[in-house]
Amino acid sequence: MRDLPATAALRTFEVATRHATFTSAAEELSITQSAVSHQLKNLEERWGLPLFERGRTLRLTPAGAALAPLVREFLGKLEATLAELREQKGRVRLRVNTTYSFALKWLLPRLPDLARLHPEILVTLESSDKAINFANTDSDVAIRFGHGNYPALHTEFMFREQLFPVASPALLERFGTPSEPAELLRYALLTRDGADLVPKWDVWFKSVGIHTDVLHESVRFADTNMTIEAALLGQGIALARSGHVEKEIGDGSLVRLFNIPFPSPAAYYFVCPKGIETQPHIMTFRNWLLVESQRAQDNYDKP
């Protein structure tokens, strides 16, 4: 660390690497050409390395070319970190990891309420569909979809969704509204591929007493959001989870078909490393989250 010069000297070096002359570098820095030359000479003496080949135009030496990207990265990270710290000003950051679809459809619309009630918490959302490993991530807490089998973590149940068919009003206007579940077999059915935790159409049909080996599937989609978007576009009927279509059901862009209870076998859980659940900002977020979860559960359980 004894070879680390003042930040001003590093800044002068970084600017000079992007200019052909000390004069043009001085103009960007709003200092004199002699000040630029003096700072760079001192830097070369301090490091014992020539950084520039001086002539009609500046050229970096091999040592200068090797150091330039390191100095540029250091200054960039320093400026970004300082800006972030100035923005926080006493706020505590909470990194929340969850799946992309849950963050987009359920958590994100509710975050303004958290910001209003608890402005001291600065939430950073991180999304991943993989199992959370707190040893290999900066996340503080996570929201996971599963069966609650997380023995190494502090785990709390949040809510369980209902599954039901949804369709766009335009599709129902073109093909008619089915009056009973069996009529769905004549429609294009939208399905999310993979996702073993989420029941497919054959499971839903079996639950309502319909056994069939023939399903008119149009496309299988890689994630929940694509499936819902296809339903919005009128491409077919999707089997949706209640937490992912709250807005669409509320504004009428999707219509729920049949009030048949079908609870998801998997549910959402709040998880974090054991021992940190009592930290004040985590307790605040957890309490707010569980209140919102209970409201959602009460709404999903309505017929």
pLDDT at 281 over 60: yes
CA distance 30 to 26: 6
**Taking every pair of C-alpha atoms in the chain, what is the biggest distance, in angstroms?**
87
pLDDT value of residue 73 = 92
Residues 45-62 have pLDDT tens digits of 999 999 999 888 889 999
CATH topology of domain 7-86: Arc Repressor Mutant, subunit A (1.10.10)
pTM score, whole prediction: 0.71
Domain coordinates of the chain in residue numbers? 7-86, 89-302
pLDDT digit string, tens, across residues 218-241:
677 888 889 999 999 999 999 999
The first and second tokens of residue 237, run together, are 């009927």
CATH numeric code, 89-302: 3.40.190.290
pLDDT digits (tens, 9 = 90+) for 59-73: 999 999 999 999 999
Q: What percent of the chain has pLDDT over 90?
A: 69
**The pair of three-digit structure tokens given for residue 103, joined into one six-digit string:** 């963050």
Average pLDDT rounded to a whole number, residues 280-297: 96
Q: What is the pLDDT of the chain when averaged over all its residues?
A: 90
Asked whether the beta carbons of 163 and 262 are under 8 A apart, the reply is yes
State yes or no: pLDDT of 213 exceeds 80.
no
- DSSP-assigned states of every residue in the chain: -TT---HHHHHHHHHHTT-SSHHHHHHHHTS-HHHHHHHHHHHHHHHTS--EE-SSS-EE-HHHHHHHHHHHHHHHHHHHHHHHHHHHTT-EEEEEEE-HHHIIIIIHHHHHHHHHH-TTEEEEEEE-SSPP-GGGS--SEEEEEESS--TTEEEEEEE--BEEEEE-HHHHHHH---SSGGGGGGS-EEEE-S-TTS--HHHHHHHTT---S---EEEEESSHHHHHHHHHTTS-EEEEEGGGSHHHHHHTSSEE------B-SSEEEEEEETT-TTSHHHHHHHHHHHHHHHHHHHHHT--
Reply yes or no on whether the pLDDT at 1 is more than 60: no
First and final CA of the chain: distance in angstroms?
67
Question: Counting every residue, how long is the chain?
Answer: 303
The reply to whether domains 7-86 and 89-302 share a CATH topology is no
Over residues 257-279, the mean pLDDT reads 94
